[in-house]
Amino acid sequence: MLGTCALRFGAVMALAVTCGFATALPAQAQIGSERYAAIVADARSGNVLIAASPDERRYPASLTKMMTVYLAFEALRDGRVTLDTPIRVSAYSASMAPSRLGLTTGMTLTVEEAILALVTKSANDAASALGEFLGGGSEDRFAQIMTMKARALGMTRTTFRNASGLPDLDQVTTARDMALLGRRLMQDFPERYGFFSTPHFVFRGRTHWNHNRLLQEYDGADGIKTGYVNDSGFNLVASAQRDGVRLVAAVFGGASGRERDRHMMALLDQGFGQMGVAVAARRSAPAVLASAQASPLRGRHVLATAQAAP
């Protein structure tokens, strides 16, 4: 189990871990297109199986909501809120678009409803409302908390500027950092992780479906989050479990949601293969891009992490 580490980046962006874990910038793997950044890791050990530009800074888009949810889970764990705690929607939060739950100024929703809106609909209005609530009335303050938490978790190349992932030139991350966040969501909140496999939820009579198609199309998939803005392309952090092996993976830069999903499924297949798990037939069988194959990494590479500050 990884312990508390002090992290720094050198001039060549190779990750150095001062507490003695053997880790380095993984060798580059070809994944069909230079626009992609990707990583696949064993979620239990943190060992990186496949990587392509894993430390290249990219825009997270709605993957940002993973950190918003992480901090909501933390507030639930610490007893600062309950699932039934009401959140009052401000005019600012109600104005968030384009993906939205349809919240209006003065409306209330519960913490549980806000979390469900983030993991399924990817609702920006709900994300902003939750961020304002957890940030003591200020989304800007909440974004600072998000970035501080990222550093505490070992996400050294990530900066957050809002709770939703709406475009901001200073809001950046990497495939490695987001895979690390996915891993910490599993490890730190196993009792809450099922939120990410919710197929849909109903809010005020309307059904909102999960944007993550892997939940229906890839055997063993149980999370995590999709994301898209024009400058990022189509992003996805995914988790899947088969035969006792759990993987976490991140893909940035898809030209379309479907192409991104194909790349992700091909990479997960390869990752499970490297872990000795037979690849199962898919529930639906989209064509998998042959160019999505990547070479296994040589040596021991891990998702470097630090223990979260209490």
Task: Supply the residues annotated as catalytic.
Answer: 62, 65, 122
Residue 106, classed as helix, strand or coil, is: coil
Neighbouring residues of 126: CB distance < 8 A, sequence distance ≥ 6: 93, 100, 101, 103, 109, 113, 114, 117, 118
Residues 6 or more apart whose CB falls under 8 angstroms from that of 145 comprise 71, 134, 135
Structure tokens given for 28: 């580059």
**Which residues, at least 6 apart from 23, have a Cβ–Cβ distance to it below 8 Å?**
15, 17, 300, 301, 302, 304
Residue 121 is labelled as binding a ligand? no
Distance of alpha carbon 114 from alpha carbon 129, whole angstroms: 8
Beta-sheet pairing, 108-110 with 86-88: antiparallel
Distance from chain centroid for Cα 224 = 6
Contacts (Cβ under 8 Å, ≥6 apart) of 232: 58, 59, 60, 61, 252, 253
- Which amino acid is located at 61 in the chain? A
Which residues participate in the annotated binding site?
Answer: 225
